């Protein structure tokens, strides 16, 4: 594990897992709908929302890379 590339990949992967889990939790908490019986339903995100998300992620990655 003395290779700097391996360390960078492991650290980046761990940060990606944490960021992805946090994003999923935030998405769930803001978009879940509970009916009268207490059943939860989660709406599927639309294509426009996914494009915005992808462009936002690319922008953040570009800032990190510079």
Q: Work out the pLDDT band at 1, boundaries 50, 70, 90.
A: low
Please say if the pLDDT value at position 17 is more than 90: yes
Note the pLDDT tens digit of each residue in 40-54: 888 888 899 889 988
Segment 51-62 mean pLDDT: 90
pTM of the model: 0.65
CA distances, 5 to each of 15, 17, 20 (Å): 15, 18, 22
Segment 48-63 mean pLDDT: 90
Q: What is the DSSP letter of 40?
A: E
- Say how many domains are in the chain: 1
Residue-number span of the structural domain to which 15 is assigned: 4-65
């Amino acid at each position: 594990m003395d290779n700097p590339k391996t360390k960078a990949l492991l650290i980046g992967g761990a940060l990606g897992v944490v960021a992805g889990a946090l994003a999923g939790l935030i998405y769930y908490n803001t978009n879940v709908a509970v009916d009268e019986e207490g059943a939860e339903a989660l709406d599927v995100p639309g294509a426009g929302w996914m494009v915005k998300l992808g462009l936002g992620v690319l922008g953040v990655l570009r800032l990190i890379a510079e």
